[in-house]
Chains A and B, each alone.
Chain A
Amino acid sequence: MSKYRVSGRGRIDTSRPVSFTFDGKRIKGAKGDTVASALLANGIHLMGRSFKYHRPRGAVAAGSEEPNALIGTRRGPGRFEPNTRATVQEIWEGLETNSQNKFPSLKFDVGAVNDAAYMMFSAGFYYKTFMWPRSFWDKVYEPFIRAAAGLGVSPKEEDPDTYASRNAFCDVLVIGSGPAGLAAARAAAVEGLKVVLVDENAEAGGTLLSEPQAVIDGKPAWDWLSSELAALKAAGVKIMTRTTAIAYYHQNLIGLVEKLSDHLEVLPQDTPRERLWRMRAKQVVLAQGALEKPLVFHGNDRPGVMLAGSAQTYLNRYGVLVGTSPAVVTSHDSAWFSAFDLADAGAKVQAIVDTRSEIRQELLDGAKSRGIRVLAGYTATGTEGRLRVKSVRVNPMQSGKVGAPETISCDALLMSGGWTPSLHLFSHTQGKLAWDDDRTTFLPDYTPEDCVIAGAGRGLWGIAAALADGAEKGQQAVEALGRSAIAAVPAVKNDRTGTGVSHKELPTDLSPGKAKAFVDYQNDVTAKDLRLAVREGMKSIEHVKRYTTNGMATDQGKMSNINGLNIASDALGRKQPQVGLTTFRPPYTPTTFGAFAGYHRGGHFEVTRKTRIDSWAAENGAVFEPVSQWRRAWYFPKAGETMDQAVARECAATRSSVGIFDASTLGKIEVVGPDAVEFMNRMYTNPWTKLGVNRCRYGLLLGDDGFIRDDGVIGRMGQDKFHVTTTTGGAARVLNMMEDYLQTEWPDLNVWLTSTTEQWSTIALNGPNAAKLLAPLVEGVELTEEAFPHMSCVECTVAGMPARLFRVSFTGEIGFEVNVPAPMGRQLWETLWKAGEQYGITAYGTETMHVLRAEKGYIIVGQDTDGTVTPDDAGMAWAIGKAKPDFVGKRGLARPDLTAKGRKQLVGLLTEDGSKLEEGAQIVFDPAQPVPMKMVGHVTSSYDTGTTGRPIALALVEGGHDRMGETVHIPMPDRTIAAKITGTVFYDPENAKLKI
């Protein structure tokens, strides 16, 4: 065992050695160690380099607030995580860890030149740099910073782990399992109430784990702790360790992240790595305790300089002496007890340096009995040591003057600037804080949530006070639920209470301009940076924060915010509450993307909707494309065919014989009721009153602003029944819009709306042989021009299945859409396929559908329109029922801007050189004009295969309807393409092909 491991101390199991690697070197620790405690037990303080200056750094804390000791952890391929706090990561046999921000090695780092170039990186560096010539940034600064800086390295492989996600409910949620949390949970553990106690640490107990000297109810603290945990379990309290309350959302919804396997040597089967709990609690008790503040002085970041309370934790919880000859510098009583514990464990404490001149006699006696030198009324002005502290420079302070320095040798320096309540989650609730001038800290005040805060989290110090307050707050939570609770308060002996004073940066006899007195370790922000920010005009703490980046690192200023505020407030000459505290935001500690994503990854990222015919398409080699949430067959390539070849073949087959297409994704809404026709008249632009039963019509839907929202063919299946179709992506939106008008504007109409998209499978047959193929299978209607003309619909039987048959065309050929009950879709498809073999039936996908419709100038809403296109712009003024007194969009169409000249209008484009245009390409009238040119429209649809023998395009062009035959220009990166404006119908303008 190394000289830093103290036998008989700590809660680790030294009989179970565990080894891991740090930067490739094998390190021996024990079961229960964290990476940090094991490294410290081996005398290693240097754990990383800082973000900006690459200064050598060691662990300054022992918990999740640690800003310095960030490491990469690896467990085989794919399992690498950067920025893990070494103070939290438990070790296991074979764990690989690496330090960060170093090149080429941790001990010798070339980036440390940044430290020498300190002036260059001072406050506002980024803002000022951006004002220099751009080339300077591109060529000099950015490459240099990118190469040298950054927090850790992103993993590149796919994460092989799974992350679970759960919803949960409880009556009382207690966050933090220190004395206050334990007492609150005990008080709340009333018969019939569901109580959950969570703690981010590997074991429950909080500060009790670091204070074994306390005696509670006559038992040593740790004995009391284990019996109390057993009692809580027996009372039905669910205790969740390694579970961090990352966020407090509205109405007592707490995000909890439970880490399940990062501490295990062997990954359990079928267990997620982490589990995100959405815990809805009726009452919440926040018992998160307090965080110790560093003192701000030159060299307070050297490895070996750490918080006194953390040194006490390393000793009492992990059996580690952070140094054999430590010194202490403090402004609070608590560090004295840390010094005593280290001395009692065998350390030779060099001195206790206290900024206060008056010290409690009890503490002075304790130092004297241990032979520890006391320097009261002293300041610390510097440290020495390249990769680890070897001495501290201290000076007496007399009547405001800093006296002559003295150097004290030490191998660790314990510091304490007092304690600040952990207010992060309270702050998430939009809780108001109150400034406490005596204790120089913010305390929780009012919160709109059903939440109470107990113990050190509201400024109460000592185990006895925390237990009493926790019990009271637990009781209060129970009473808020209408129940009563009796909470016994345990008696405490050997408690450690105390007081202290708060400082801005410590006084110094050295030039303050040269001092590197760190406030935010992780972002390398010094006291000098904060003062510079104030000098340069930053008045509010929010501005100071952004200008200096103080508190903006991954630790969210857990240690730096109050020190930063004290210094900024001093520089501004205003009280702290007038300067303000920055807002804490979720998550409390860095959280993996995996935890947030949960099951929503890969194939489960989003729902994939498939039609009943999708399986046939998959079996027959379809290439798919996503269309909103649907997966649709895009084209059906035969062996060796490219997409263009397949689409050309599908187009030709449909135009010459018959094509079959799965149109099941079309949105479908059943509009039924005595007022159905009136409702349709009000919703759609078209007139519906005179549409006969068994006839259908193209319907155009506008918003009340007059712009096209959706379209589709609508069949009148009965006097009071309409079969409405919508675009594939628009179905839900259209139904929502219809419901909105029906429920809130026209509640007098007796109409029922039902989504029927998934009730029907819809198959489209198009081509000159479509009627011949289908007729023998249809019962109930003759498929002749007379009995069933274009734009007819009927309920009939197709291949023995109940069907709604539509004669419609989205291709310009004779077309039918057969709707059958959804589960019969594939059966109908296969029947039609077999019957169509004699005609060489060809399956086509969405690409061919797009080409065929574009050749006929049929628009696709959302592609040829963009939410600013009117029916007239789209060349569809014919769809407006002008005689109707009102419909949605009618008044909008009369707005001056919608009737003005020069609107962008839909036209056809044929390129002069026969090349294919790019969809989205911008259009100009005069290609010779200077750049930036005036853009007058864009290409909305463009295809180069098809029937017309040349590429065709649709485009929106300013005043396009009056520019037929004119030439426009499409500038591309390599050349400018000229194109002639034409009408939008490129194929069979007489509609001769629609006739049977």
Chain B
Amino acid sequence: MLLIHCPYCGETLPEVEFAYAGEAHIARPENPSAVSDEEWAEYLFMRDNVKGVHYERWRHLHGCGRFFNAARNTITDKFLTTYEAGAPRPALDTLTEGGK
């Protein structure tokens, strides 16, 4: 079971309090009616399947209820960081895995 740091609560807590919520940084188009079928399909269905650092969303479901973002290495399952929804994607070179 992973330990996850909620950036809103400021605490590192067991995974059972959280729910995974898919890939991060996929914004719903501002004006959906204006986008093409291809663009809409891209938004709806296309997701990265990363081997390595993946930017993803979690929700502190059984805690503060907030959605937030995380960078997690899908190979080691280690979180590099978690950050508030809406904050920019952190640069990879600033991140290290659990101090190692």
- Across the interface, B78 reaches (CB within 8 A) one of A278, A448, A744, A886, namely A448
Is there an interface contact between B33 and A891, defined as CB atoms closer than 8 Å? yes
**Is B77 a contact of A250 with CB atoms below 8 Å?**
yes
Which B residues touch A745, using CB under 8 A?
Answer: 27-28
Question: Of B1, B37, B100, which is within 8 A of A253 by CB?
Answer: B1
Count of CB-CB pairs between chains A and B under 8 Å: 62
Interface membership of chain B positions 62-100, coded 1 if the CB is closer than 8 angstroms to chain A and 0 otherwise: 000111000000011110000001100000000001101
Q: How far is the CB of B36 from chain A (nearest CB, A)?
A: 10
Q: Is the CB of B21 within 8 A of A740?
A: yes
- Which residues of B sit under 8 angstroms from A891, Cβ to Cβ? 29, 32-33, 35, 40
* A743 close to B61 (CB less than 8 A): no
- Please name all residues of chain A whose beta carbon is closer than 8 Å to the beta carbon of B43 when the two chains form the complex: 704
Known: A251-B2, A890-B33. A705 touches B65 (CB 8 A): no
Contact partner of A744 (CB less than 8 A), chosen from B2, B3, B37, B86, is: B86
Q: Is B50 an interface residue (CB 8 A)?
A: no
Chain A residues closer than 8 Å to B32, beta-carbon distance: 704, 886, 890-891
Name the interface residues of A232-283: CB closer than 8 Å to any CB of B: 249-251, 253, 278, 280
**Complex interface: chain B residues within 8 A of A894 (CB):** 33, 37
Nearest-neighbor residue (CB-CB) of B43 within chain A: A704
Q: Given contacts A448-B97, A448-B100, is CB(A885)–CB(B85) below 8 Å?
A: no
How many whole Å from B58's CB to the nearest CB in chain A?
Answer: 12
| Complex Cα gap A736–B65 (Å) | 9
Residues on the B chain within 8 Å of A919, using CB: none
Task: Convert B1-37 into 0s and 1s, putting 1 for each residue whose CB lies closer than 8 angstroms to a CB of A.
Answer: 1110000000000000001010000011101110101
Question: Which residues in window 882-920 of A have CB below 8 A to B?
Answer: 885-886, 890-892, 894-896
Instruction: Establish whether residues A743 and B67, one from each chain, have CB atoms under 8 Å apart when the complex forms.
Output: yes
The residue on B at minimum CB distance from A167 is B14
On whether the beta carbons of A895 and B41 are closer than 8 Å, the reply is yes
Residues of B near A885 (CB, < 8 A) are 33
Q: At the interface, yes or no: B46 with Cβ under 8 Å from chain A?
A: no
Q: How far is the CA of A253 from the CA of B1 in the complex (A)?
A: 7
Residues in A neighbouring B37, C-beta threshold 8 A: 894-896
Question: In the complex, what residues of B have CB within 8 A of residue A890's CB?
Answer: 32-33
B65 & A704 in contact (Cβ 8 Å cutoff) = no
Inter-chain contact B67/A744, CB cutoff 8 Å: yes
Which residue of the partner chain A has the closest CB to B97?
A: A448
Count of residues in A whose CB is under 8 Å from the partner chain: 25
| Contact, CB under 8 Å: A249 / B40 | no
Q: Shortest Cβ distance from A13 into chain B, in angstroms?
A: 42
How far does the Cβ of B73 sit from chain A's closest Cβ, in whole Å? 9
The reply on A590 being an interface residue by CB < 8 A is no
Task: Kindly report which residue of chain B lies nearest to residue A753, judged by CB atoms.
Answer: B65
Give Cα A107 to B77, complex, Å.
Answer: 51
Q: Which residue of B lies closest to A278 (CB)?
A: B1
Q: How far is the CB of B78 from chain A (nearest CB, A)?
A: 6
Given A253-B1, A448-B76, A743-B85, A892 and B44 touching (CB < 8 A)?
yes
Interface residues of A in 675-717 (CB under 8 A from B): 704-705
Q: How close is B93's CB to chain A, nearest CB, in angstroms?
A: 19
Partner of B1, one of A250, A448, A736, A739: A250
Q: Which residues of A contact B66 (CB under 8 A)?
A: 743
A747 located at the interface, meaning its Cβ lies under 8 Å from any Cβ of chain B in the complex: yes
Which residues of the partner chain B approach A162 to less than 8 Å between Cβ atoms?
none
Supposing A430-B76, A740-B21, A892-B44 touch, asked if A747 and B86 sit within 8 A by C-beta, the answer is: yes
Please, how many angstroms separate the alpha-carbon atoms of A564 and B40 in the complex? 53
Do A704 and B3 touch across chains, with their CB atoms under 8 A apart? no
Give the CA-CA distance A705 to B100 in the complex, in Å.
42
For A338-350 the 0/1 string (1 means CB < 8 A from B) is 0000000000000
Which chain A positions have C-beta within 8 A of B57? Answer: 744
**B33 contact set on A, CB distance < 8 A:** 885-886, 890-891, 894
Q: Across the interface, do A705 and B67 meet the contact criterion of CB distance under 8 Å?
A: no
- Whether B76 and A705, one on each chain, are in contact in the complex, defined by CB atoms closer than 8 angstroms, is no
Chain A residues, Cβ within 8 Å of B77? 250
CB nearest to A252 among chain B residues: B3
The CA of A870 and the CA of B40, in the complex, are separated in Å by 17
Q: Kindly state the separation between the CA atoms of A890 and B27 in the bound complex, as whole angstroms.
A: 16
> Are A704 and B28 in contact, with the CB atoms below 8 A?
yes
Q: Which residues of A contact B27 (CB under 8 A)?
A: 745
Assembled-state Cα–Cα distance A987/B66 (Å): 46
Contact A704 B44 (CB under 8 A): yes
Once bound together, how far apart are the Cα atoms of A430 and B78, in whole Å?
12
Shortest A671–chain B CB gap in Å is 15
Picked from A249, A251, A448, A740, the residue with its CB within 8 Å of the CB of B67 is A740
* Of the residues A251, A705, A736, contact of B44 by C-beta under 8 Å: A705
B44 to A739, Cβ gap below 8 A?
no
In chain B, what residue has the closest Cβ to A885?
Answer: B33
- B85: contacting residue among A251, A430, A704, A744, CB under 8 A: A744
**Which residue, of A249, A448, A739, A885, has the highest number of chain B Cβ atoms within 10 A?**
A448
Residue numbers in B under 8 Å from A896 (CB-CB)? 37
CA A249 to CA B29, docked complex, whole Å:
39
Alpha-carbon separation in the docked complex, A200 to B90 (Å): 45
Residue-wise, chain A 874-888 has the 8 Å CB interface mask toward B (1 for contact) of 000000000001100
Tell me the complex Cα distance, A885–B85, Å: 26
In the assembled complex, how far is the CB of residue A246 from the closest CB belonging to chain B, in whole angstroms? Answer: 15
Cα A891 to Cα B31 with chains together (Å): 9
Expressed in whole angstroms, the Cα–Cα distance for A160 and B2 within the complex equals 33
In residues 709-748 of chain A, which contact B (Cβ within 8 Å)? 736, 739-740, 743-745, 747
Contact of A250 among B2, B19, B67 (CB under 8 A): B2
A891 to B75, CA, bound (A): 36
Assembled-state Cα–Cα distance A40/B77 (Å): 47
Complex CA gap A878/B67 in Å reads 34
Closest to A705 in B: B44
Distance A932 CA – B37 CA, assembled complex (angstroms): 34
- CB of A441 to closest CB in B, whole Å: 25
Contact present for B76 and A895 (CB under 8 Å): no
Which of B32, B61, B75, B98 neighbours the largest number of chain A CB atoms within 10 Å of its CB? B32
Cα–Cα distance between A896 and B37 once the two chains are bound (Å): 8
Contact of B76 with A249 in the complex, beta carbons under 8 Å: no
Q: For residue A747, which residues in chain B have a CB less than 8 angstroms away from its CB? A: 85-86
Measured CA separation A891–B57 after assembly (Å): 24
In the assembled complex, the CB of B32 is this many whole angstroms from the nearest CB of chain A, namely: 4
Docked complex Cα distance between A980 and B43 (Å) = 41
Whole-angstrom distance from the CB of A507 to the nearest CB of chain B?
Answer: 43
Measured in the bound complex, the distance between the Cα atoms of B44 and A704 in whole Å is 7
1/0 per residue B36-55: CB within 8 Å of A? 01001101100000000000
Q: List A contacts of B85 (CB < 8 A).
A: 743-744, 747
A895 to B67, CA, bound (A): 29
Instruction: Name the residue among A250, A251, A280, A740 with the largest chain B CB count within 10 angstroms.
Output: A251
A885 to B32, alpha carbons, bound, how many Å? 9
Interfacial chain B residues near A740, Cβ < 8 Å: 21, 59, 67
Q: B31 CB to closest chain A CB, in angstroms?
A: 7
Chain B proximity mask over A433-456: 1 for CB below 8 Å, otherwise 0: 000000000000000100000000
Chain A min CB distance to B47 (Å)? 14
B residues in contact with A448, CB < 8 Å: 76, 78, 97-98, 100
Q: A430 to chain B: closest CB distance in Å?
A: 6
Q: Considering the chains assembled together, what is the distance between the CA atoms of A886 and B30 in angstroms?
A: 10
15 contacts across the A-B interface (CB closer than 8 A): A250-B77, A251-B2, A430-B75, A704-B43, A705-B44, A736-B19, A736-B59, A740-B59, A743-B67, A743-B85, A744-B57, A886-B32, A895-B37, A895-B41, A896-B37
Q: A250-B77, A740-B21, A744-B85 are in contact. List 18 more A-B contacts (CB 8 A).
A: A250-B2, A250-B3, A430-B75, A448-B76, A448-B78, A448-B98, A448-B100, A704-B32, A704-B44, A705-B44, A736-B61, A739-B59, A740-B59, A740-B67, A744-B57, A885-B33, A890-B32, A891-B40
Among all A-B residue pairs, the 9 with the closest Cβ atoms? A891-B32, A448-B76, A743-B67, A251-B3, A745-B28, A744-B85, A250-B2, A744-B67, A253-B1
Residues of B within 8 A of A (CB): 1-3, 19, 21, 27-29, 31-33, 35, 37, 40-41, 43-44, 57, 59, 61, 65-67, 75-78, 85-86, 97-98, 100
